[in-house]
Amino acid sequence: MKEKIITKAAEMFLSLGFKSVTMDDISNEMGISKKTIYTHFNNKTQLVKESVLKVFEEISCGIDAIQDLEKDPIEELYEIKKFVMLQLKNEKSSPQYQLQKYYPEVYTMIRKKKYENMAECTIENLKRGVEKGVYRKNIDVDFISKLYFLCIEGINDESIFPLSQFSKFKLMEDYLDYHLRGIVTSKGLETLTKYSNKN
pLDDT in tens, 88-136: 765 555 677 888 889 999 999 999 999 999 999 999 999 999 999 999 9
CATH topology for 52-198? Tetracycline Repressor; domain 2 (1.10.357)
What is the value of pTM for the model shown? 0.87
pLDDT band at 158 (very low <50, low <70, confident <90, very high): confident
Q: Is 85 exposed, middle or buried (0-12, 13-18, 19+ CB in 10 A)?
A: middle
**Is the separation of the CB atoms in 56 and 118 below 8 Å?**
no
Alpha helix positions (H), the chain: 2-16, 23-30, 34-40, 44-68, 73-87, 95-102, 104-131, 141-155, 168-181, 186-198
pLDDT at 129: 98
Q: How many CB atoms lie within 10 A of CB 126?
A: 20
Residue 135 bridge partners (DSSP): 184
Q: In this structure, what are the phi and psi dihedrals at residue 51, rounded to the nearest 5 degrees? A: -65, -45
pLDDT over 90 at 186, yes or no: yes
Task: Output the pLDDT for position 92.
Answer: 57
pLDDT, one tens digit per residue, over 44-102 is 999 999 999 999 999 999 999 999 999 999 999 999 999 988 887 655 556 778 888 89
Q: In the chain, pLDDT over 90 holds for what percent of residues?
A: 77
Domain boundaries along the sequence of the chain = 52-198
Query: What is the distance of C-alpha 75 from the center of its chain?
Result: 17
Burial of 60 (0-12, 13-18, 19+ CB in 10 A): middle
What's the rounded Cα separation, in Å, for the pair 188 and 131?
A: 12
Q: Say what the pLDDT of residue 194 is.
A: 87
Cβ count within 10 A of residue 175: 16
Residue 20 CA, distance from chain mean position: 21
pLDDT the model gives residue 199:
62
Confidence band of 168 (pLDDT split at 50, 70, 90): confident
Q: Which of 92, 130, 1, 113 is nearest to 49 (CA)?
A: 113
Q: Which letter does DSSP use for residue 135 in this model?
A: B
